[in-house]
C-alpha cells in the first residue's frame, strides 16, 4: 500500500512524499512542512455507487446578463475589481504583513456599506477595540459596517447563514480554524478547508467574500497562493515600507481584466487614491542624470510613466554584480547580451544596478528599450534629455518590435509635458499626441542616435 503524503508546501500547497529544503513545484525554499493529508480517513465509496441528481444543460447561445456590480466609489479599487464588486464572488487580497490590507479593506467595507451593501468585517487578528480605533482614525466610525472578532469557522458560517450579508471580509484566512480539520490554524489544510467553505458559501448565498491572506516568508504559515485557484479574483497589495505608494494589482480576475492596477498613497488618514500615478511616480525626479530614463508603460488599461534608473560601474569582483529591483533579472541579462553581441558594447567587468523608481514593479516587455537606454546612458555617462520618453520591445537580433497601445503611451507622455518619444519604427500612432516620434529600426540605431556611436 502506498504511504500517505504527509509533506506539504506552505507557499503553493503542493504535496510531497518526503521533506526537502526546496519545493519542487514552486521552487521556494524552506516551505515544506509535515502535515496531515487532507484526504485522511476511511476510504470513500465510489461515487457511481449512488445515484445523484441529473444536472440541467443549456445552449452555448443562452443569453445571460452581465453580472450586476456595485461600485465602492473608490475608483482605484473598482477598476481593479473589473468595474465594481460582483455578487457571489470570492476575492483574495494578498500582501506582506503591515502593507495596509486591513486598512484598505476596512475602507472598502465602509464604502460598500454606504452604497447600500450589507457589509460584515470579521477579524481573527485584532481586537474589536483596535478595529474601532482604526475606523475612527480613518473617519469611518459612522459607516454601517458590522464588526466581529472570531476565528472559529463554524461560528462564522452560522452567523453568515442568518445574517446573509452582501459582503463579508475575512481578515485573515490564516487565522481561521475549521474544527473538522485536524491541524493548526495557518496550516495548508486549515487554510484550504476554510477557503473552500467560505467560497462555497459565497456561491450558495450570493455573498461576496473577501479573504485577506498574508504573504509569509518563513514557511510556518500557508501563504495566499494556496487559495489562489479557489477564488474568482486574486489581488495583491504591493509596495515598499519606505515608500508611501501602494499598488493593488489584479493577477487573476474572472470578472475583468487581469494586470489592472490601482494606485494608493498611505497617509495618516488611511489609503488615499492616486488618480494621476504618472505624476506621482515622476515627482521625485531631479535634473536629468545619466542612467535615468522615463518609460511610457501600460498597466492594465491605463498608461503609466515610470523612471528606470541604471548604475554601471567598474567591478571590484571577479564575478560582476547584476542587481535588479522592480524588473526581471533574466530579461536584464538578455538585454545586456544583445547590447554586447549586436551593438558591440560590452559590460564585462562592470557592475550593473537597475531600479524602477517609486517601488513599482514592471513586467511589460515594452520596457526593454527603456532599460537598454538607461544602461547605455549610465555606461556612457550621458544623460537622456528630460523631455524624452522611451518604449519598445527588443528581440534577440537587436531589432525593435512595436508594442501595443502606442497612442495611449504618447498621450500620457504629452499630458505630462514630454515632447519626444524614442520608439520602434512601424509603431502605430494616430498622430494626435503632439509628440515628436523618433522611430528606431534596431538597437544599434538607438545607440547611434543617442551617443553618436554605433
Positions that interact with ligand ADP (CB under 6 A) = 95, 97-103, 137, 268
* Residue among 102 and 189 whose Cβ is closer to Mg ion: 102
- Say if CB 238 and CB 246 are below 8 A apart: yes
Q: Which H or E element spans position 224?
A: none
Which among 97-105, 128-136, 155-163, 255-263 is the span making contact with Mg ion, rule CB under 5 A?
A: 97-105
The x, y and z cell numbers of residue 329, run together, are 533579472
* Alpha-carbon separation of residue 114 from 128, 222, 334 (angstroms): 20, 34, 50
Task: Based on the shown chain and the rule CB under 5 A, indicate whether residue 5 belongs to the binding site for Zn ion.
Answer: no
The distance of closest approach from Cβ of residue 295 to Mg ion in the complex, given in angstroms and rounded to an integer, is 33
The distance of closest approach from Cβ of residue 125 to ligand ADP in the complex, given in angstroms and rounded to an integer, is 8
Task: Based on the shown chain and the rule CB under 5 A, indicate whether residue 26 belongs to the binding site for Zn ion.
Answer: yes
Which among 1-9, 126-134, 290-298, 316-324 is the span making contact with Zn ion, rule CB under 5 A?
A: 1-9
Q: If you compute the radius of gyration of the chain from its CA atoms, what whole number of angstroms results?
A: 25
Out of 8, 10, 89, 102, point to the residue binding Mg ion (CB under 5 A): 102
With CB under 5 to 8 Å by kind, the binding choice for 99 among Mg ion, Zn ion, ligand ADP, none is: ligand ADP
The distance of closest approach from Cβ of residue 301 to Mg ion in the complex, given in angstroms and rounded to an integer, is 29
Residue 203 backbone class (left: φ over 0; alpha: ψ -120 to 50; beta: rest) = alpha
Residue 211: closest CA among 219, 427, 220, 222: 222
The x, y and z cell numbers of residue 174, run together, are 490564516
Task: Based on the shown chain and the rule CB under 5 A, indicate whether residue 9 belongs to the binding site for Zn ion.
Answer: yes
* Residue among 239 and 326 whose Cβ is closer to ligand ADP: 239
The Cα 387–Cα 374 span in angstroms is 15
The distance of closest approach from Cβ of residue 100 to ligand ADP in the complex, given in angstroms and rounded to an integer, is 4
| CA angle at 166 for the pair 163 and 169, rounded to the nearest 5° | 90
With CB under 5 to 8 Å by kind, the binding choice for 25 among ligand ADP, Mg ion, Zn ion, none is: Zn ion
3-state secondary structure (DSSP) of residue 120: strand
The distance of closest approach from Cβ of residue 403 to ligand ADP in the complex, given in angstroms and rounded to an integer, is 34
The Cα 111–Cα 277 span in angstroms is 22
The distance of closest approach from Cβ of residue 86 to Mg ion in the complex, given in angstroms and rounded to an integer, is 24
Task: Based on the shown chain and the rule CB under 5 A, indicate whether residue 14 belongs to the binding site for Zn ion.
Answer: yes
* Alpha-carbon separation of residue 138 from 58, 114, 132, 213, 225 (angstroms): 48, 15, 10, 22, 30
* Residue among 261 and 335 whose Cβ is closer to ligand ADP: 261
The Cα 281–Cα 246 span in angstroms is 12
The distance of closest approach from Cβ of residue 105 to Mg ion in the complex, given in angstroms and rounded to an integer, is 8
List all residues 6 or more positions away from 306 whose beta carbon is below 8 Å from its beta carbon.
278, 281, 282, 294, 295, 297, 356, 357, 358, 360, 362
For the four alpha carbons of 19, 20, 26 and 29, in that order, the dihedral sign comes to positive
Out of 11, 188, 400, 423, point to the residue binding Zn ion (CB under 5 A): 11
With CB under 5 to 8 Å by kind, the binding choice for 12 among Mg ion, Zn ion, ligand ADP, none is: Zn ion
User: Which residue lies nearest Mg ion, judged by its C-beta?
Assistant: 102
With CB under 5 to 8 Å by kind, the binding choice for 97 among ligand ADP, Zn ion, Mg ion, none is: ligand ADP
Task: Based on the shown chain and the rule CB under 5 A, indicate whether residue 406 belongs to the binding site for Mg ion.
Answer: no
Task: Based on the shown chain and the rule CB under 5 A, indicate whether residue 447 belongs to the binding site for Zn ion.
Answer: no
The Cα 57–Cα 287 span in angstroms is 65
3-state secondary structure (DSSP) of residue 351: strand
With CB under 5 to 8 Å by kind, the binding choice for 26 among Mg ion, Zn ion, ligand ADP, none is: Zn ion
* Residue among 186 and 256 whose Cβ is closer to ligand ADP: 186
Which among 21-29, 95-103, 273-281, 427-435 is the span making contact with Mg ion, rule CB under 5 A?
A: 95-103
Which among 96-104, 179-187, 299-307, 369-377 is the span making contact with Mg ion, rule CB under 5 A?
A: 96-104
* Residue among 33 and 181 whose Cβ is closer to Zn ion: 33
β-partners of residue 264 are: 246, 273
3-state secondary structure (DSSP) of residue 173: helix
* Residue among 265 and 407 whose Cβ is closer to ligand ADP: 265
Instruction: Tell the residue number behind the cell numbers 460582483, with chain if given.
Output: 86
Q: Give Dmax over CA atoms of the chain in angstroms.
A: 79
Task: Based on the shown chain and the rule CB under 5 A, indicate whether residue 107 belongs to the binding site for Mg ion.
Answer: no
The Cα 341–Cα 335 span in angstroms is 10
Name the site residues for Zn ion (rule: CB under 5 A): 9, 11-12, 14, 23, 25-26
Name the site residues for Mg ion (rule: CB under 5 A): 102
Amino acid at each position: 500500500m502506498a504511504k500517505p503524503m504527509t509533506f506539504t508546501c506552505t507557499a503553493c500547497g503542493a504535496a510531497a512524499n518526503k521533506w526537502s529544503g526546496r519545493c519542487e513545484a514552486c521552487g521556494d525554499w524552506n516551505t515544506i512542512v509535515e502535515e496531515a493529508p487532507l484526504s485522511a480517513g476511511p476510504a470513500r465509496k465510489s461515487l457511481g455507487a449512488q445515484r445523484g441528481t441529473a444536472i440541467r444543460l443549456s445552449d452555448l447561445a443562452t443569453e445571460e446578463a452581465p453580472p450586476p456590480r456595485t461600485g465602492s466609489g473608490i475608483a482605484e479599487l473598482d477598476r481593479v475589481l473589473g468595474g465594481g464588486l460582483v455578487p457571489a464572488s470570492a476575492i483574495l487580497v494578498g500582501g506582506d504583513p503591515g502593507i495596509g490590507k486591513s486598512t484598505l479593506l476596512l475602507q472598502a467595507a465602509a464604502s460598500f456599506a454606504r452604497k447600500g451593501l450589507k457589509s460584515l468585517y470579521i477579524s481573527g487578528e485584532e481586537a474589536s477595540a483596535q478595529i474601532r480605533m482604526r475606523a475612527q482614525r480613518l473617519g469611518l466610525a459612522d459607516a454601517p459596517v458590522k464588526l466581529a472578532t472570531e476565528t472559529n469557522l463554524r461560528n462564522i458560517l452560522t452567523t453568515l447563514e442568518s445574517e446573509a450579508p452582501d459582503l463579508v471580509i475575512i481578515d485573515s484566512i490564516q487565522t481561521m480554524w475549521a474544527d473538522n480539520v485536524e491541524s493548526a490554524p495557518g496550516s495548508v489544510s486549515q487554510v484550504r478547508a476554510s477557503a473552500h467553505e467560505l467560497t462555497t458559501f459565497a456561491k450558495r448565498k450570493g455573498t461576496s467574500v473577501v479573504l485577506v491572506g498574508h504573504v509569509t516568508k518563513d514557511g510556518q504559515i500557508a501563504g495566499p497562493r494556496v487559495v489562489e485557484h479557489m477564488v474568482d479574483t486574486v489581488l495583491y497589495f504591493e509596495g515598499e515600507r519606505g515608500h508611501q505608494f501602494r499598488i493593488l494589482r489584479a493577477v487573476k480576475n474572472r470578472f475583468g481584466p487581469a494586470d489592472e492596477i490601482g494606485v494608493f498613497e498611505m497617509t495618516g488618514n488611511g489609503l488615499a487614491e492616486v488618480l494621476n500615478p504618472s505624476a506621482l511616480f515622476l515627482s521625485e525626479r531631479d535634473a536629468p542624470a545619466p542612467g535615468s530614463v522615463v518609460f511610457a508603460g501600460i498597466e492594465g488599461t491605463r498608461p503609466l510613466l515610470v523612471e528606470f534608473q541604471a548604475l554601471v560601474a567598474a567591478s571590484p569582483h571577479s564575478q560582476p554584480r547584476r542587481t535588479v529591483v522592480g524588473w526581471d533579472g533574466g530579461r536584464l541579462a538578455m538585454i545586456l547580451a544583445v547590447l554586447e553581441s549586436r551593438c558591440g558594447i560590452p559590460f564585462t567587468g562592470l557592475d550593473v544596478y537597475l531600479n524602477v523608481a517609486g517601488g513599482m514593479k514592471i513586467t511589460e516587455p515594452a520596457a526593454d528599450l527603456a532599460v537598454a537606454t538607461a544602461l547605455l546612458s549610465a555606461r556612457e555617462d550621458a544623460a537622456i534629455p528630460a523631455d524624452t520618453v522611451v518604449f519598445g520591445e527588443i528581440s534577440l537580433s537587436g531589432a525593435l518590435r512595436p508594442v501595443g497601445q502606442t497612442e495611449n503611451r504618447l498621450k500620457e507622455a504629452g499630458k505630462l509635458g514630454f515632447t519626444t518619444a524614442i520608439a520602434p519604427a512601424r509603431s502605430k500612432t494616430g498622430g494626435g499626441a503632439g509628440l515628436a516620434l523618433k522611430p528606431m529600426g534596431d538597437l544599434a540605431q538607438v545607440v547611434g542616435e543617442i551617443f553618436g556611436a554605433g
